[in-house]
Each structure stands twice: as structure tokens, then as C-alpha cells.
Amino acid sequence: MVNTTSPVAWAGKPYHEIREVAEQDGSVLVVPIGALEQHGHHLPTGTDTILVEAVATRAAEYVAEADDVPVLTTPPLWLGHSPHHLPFGGTVSADFETLHDVLSQIADSALGNDFDTILFLNGHGGNRPLIAAATGRVGAEQPDTEVLGLTYFELGTYFMDEIRESDLGGMAHGGELETSMMLHLTPELVDEELMAATQWETEYEQAPSDLLGPGPLNVTLDVEEWSESGAMGDVSRVSAEKGERMLEGFVDELAALLVAISE
């Protein structure tokens, strides 16, 4: 269901109120981008979209109230680049060019309302290179607007050492981070009886290790080779309490960024 109740939700406002926000100095539009893909047996396919929308909405609500930042969030884009998850089923994926075009057209139409900045907020690891490329492309197409891109869970590098208990590799796909946050936000969607994941161990030290350890080396990811369930990481150390602390950390970091963008 599209969020229409939040005071920062684009979808809950008539057009003239959207323009009133956009035309203020320092206005920011946040576009959350997730995915619809398998996350093992214990998490729903909408996990990435659910989490990125929660982080975007809560951070925007906070700065709108506490700092008077003129900010809105669009409904999340649930379509991502997920070909590596297709063999498991339950996954819908689009190619890079299609997603580039979608983001470009979202920006082209949304920025007609006079927002000063658009922030593509990503919540799916497979979208990382897409967001980087789309930020450059849309920025070139929209020279009068600041165009930014960010993968929200990378903000965890500023605080996650105080929370995580798993070794490197434990916060991979459907692991300690995502499962804990889902237990906090939507526990009814987490099947704790089917909770299973394979610890992600990479062949090269420079290769990606988990969501917070991307590594500089690009590798081909065959999820079927790594995990029978489709999930990777450590689910033995998950908890709703930990998920709440993670969410608060992401919201705090994103809120600070939104304030800086608006100034």
C-alpha cells in the first residue's frame, strides 16, 4: 500500500502542496529505490523496498519537523536489478538501461515542480552501480538541480561496529542486518522457523564481503553457488532490539545528510 499518511509523503498531497514544498529554498526530493527479489525462506521478497522506504520516510519526517527542511519522499520504486536472484523464483528484475530510463523520467517529471535537490536513496546491493551511473546521467540532464545518489546501508560504516555481532560476511543478503531490521519493523513477515542463511566467504580479500564491506574488486555473484536457501550471512545473531538500533542509526545519519543538503 502506498504511504499517504506521512506528512512528507508525495502521494498523500494534492499537487499545489507539492509545489509549495518544492518552491521553498533548500527543497529536497527523496526517491527510495528497492527491489522485489528472494531473500531466503524467512524474509519477504519486498524486504529491500520495505527497509529503504522506512529509512527515507523517518529521516524526512524528522528533519521536516525538527529543522524545517522542505522535503518530500516519493513512493518507493520496487523494481531493481536482480538477475542473480532469478533462479530462485519470486524475483522481478529489469536491466540497467530500463532502470536508467525510469529514474531519468522520474527526475524529469518530478523536478518540474522546482525542487532544488533530488536524492536517489537505494536499498538494494545490486542497484549500487546503477545508482552511481544514474546520478551522473540525470545530473547531466538536469544541470540546474543537484542530483545525488546514496545506498542507505553504507551509512552503517559510521555506527554499525557498535551494534553488529557477526563476523564480516554476516550482514550479507538476508543476514544479521536485514533480518534484524525486519524483525523490528514487520515481525509478522519474518518466518523465524525457516530462518537459515549461508555465511558469505569470498575467495579474494578485495572482493565484496557483506553489505558494509563492498570491497574494490568486482566479481560475478552466483547466489545459487553460495546459498541453498538464497540468503547469505549470519541469522544466529538477529533480534528486533538490534534492528531498532540499526534503523535509528540509519535515520540519524540520513537526517544529518538531508539537513546538510538543504542548507
Residue ranges per domain, the chain? 10-262
**Which pLDDT belongs to residue 94?**
97
Q: Could you tell me how far CA 37 lies from the centroid of its own chain? A: 13
**Which pLDDT belongs to residue 154?**
95
**Which pLDDT belongs to residue 1?**
72
The rounded distance, in Å, linking the Cα atoms of 56 and 33 is 10
**Which pLDDT belongs to residue 198?**
83
Predicted model pTM: 0.95
Looking at domain 10-262, which CATH architecture does it have? Answer: 3-Layer(aba) Sandwich (3.40)
Cell of 155: 551509512
The rounded distance, in Å, linking the Cα atoms of 46 and 75 is 14
Q: What share of the chain in percent tops pLDDT 90?
A: 81
**Which pLDDT belongs to residue 117?**
98
Q: C-alpha distances in angstroms, 112 versus 75, 106, 138?
A: 17, 10, 13
The rounded distance, in Å, linking the Cα atoms of 59 and 187 is 21
CB–CB of 81/95 below 8 Å? yes
**Which pLDDT belongs to residue 227?**
82
Within the chain, which residues score under 50 in pLDDT? none
Q: C-alpha distances in angstroms, 159 versus 112, 154, 163, 212, 235?
A: 37, 10, 8, 11, 20
Cell of 245: 538500533
**Which pLDDT belongs to residue 215?**
76
